[in-house]
Amino acid sequence: MPASAAATRYANALADVVTAAGSALAPQNAVEELRSFESALASPDLRNALITPAVPPNRKRAVVSRVADVLGLSRIARNFLFVLIDHRRIAAFSDVVNAFEQILDERLGFASAQVASARELTPERRAALIGALEKASQKRLRARFGVDPGLIGGVVARIGSTVYDGSVRGQLQALERRLGAESSS
């Protein structure tokens, strides 16, 4: 799902900061720090405290500061969180982080791949699969892996609008189409 225009603006602003020459925060570290804060936001109490308009912004900043200390967030990540608090955009934090990661990938020359397999893949198989997908797509990839219990076996990968279907179900469907085409000829 595409991010909102506001989420994209904030994500672009942060991407400008972390990709600038001499930035104190490497782009990948920025993603990791934001994802760690996103995990902390899974706490309903923290999320409610930061989203509720009844809590004054200075109290929200104090809470964010304490959480940032515990997580060991950089000054850049902490200040970015303050900006989101001050502009009442913390409710869209996950959208901002997703847009930020996508923008960084584009700027750094990576394409995003979504890979579903019938069961969890070993690190060796993941690496081999990424290598094969990079060769097929002629792009550098950042892959997100997931398990789809609906697959009998194999994998299905989506890179942009292209789907690479190496699942058993996909192979059976391709065989069915070929047999149907041969029988009608």
What are the tens digits of pLDDT across the range 124-141?
Answer: 999 999 999 999 888 889
Residues 155 and 66 in one domain: no
Q: Over 80: is that where the pLDDT of 185 sits?
A: no
Enclosing domain of residue 138: 110-184
Residues 90 and 117 in one domain: no
Residues 15 and 68 in one domain: yes
The more confidently predicted of residues 113 and 79 is 79
Picking from 57, 82, 106, the residue at the C-terminal end of a domain is 106
- Rounded distance between C-alpha atoms, residue 29 and residue 127, angstroms: 21
Residues 116 and 102 in one domain: no
What are the tens digits of pLDDT across the range 26-56?
Answer: 998 999 999 999 999 999 999 999 999 999 9
What are the tens digits of pLDDT across the range 83-99?
Answer: 999 999 999 999 999 99
Residues 49 and 131 in one domain: no
Picking from 106, 135, 159, the residue at the C-terminal end of a domain is 106
48-55, long-range: CB < 8 A, 24+ apart: 50/85, 50/90, 51/90, 51/91, 53/88
- Proportion of the chain above pLDDT 70, given as a percent: 97
Tally the domains of the chain: 2
Q: Whole-model pTM above 0.75?
A: no
Picking from 40, 74, 106, the residue at the C-terminal end of a domain is 106
* Neighbour-count burial for 116-151, b at 16+ CB within 10 Å, e otherwise: bbbeebeeeebeebbeebbeebebebbbebeeeeeb
Q: What per-residue confidence (pLDDT) applies to 59?
A: 95
What are the tens digits of pLDDT across the range 1-11?
Answer: 456 899 999 99
Q: Over 60: is that where the pLDDT of 25 sits?
A: yes
Q: Over 60: is that where the pLDDT of 62 sits?
A: yes
For residue 82, name the pLDDT band (cuts at 50, 70, 90). Answer: very high
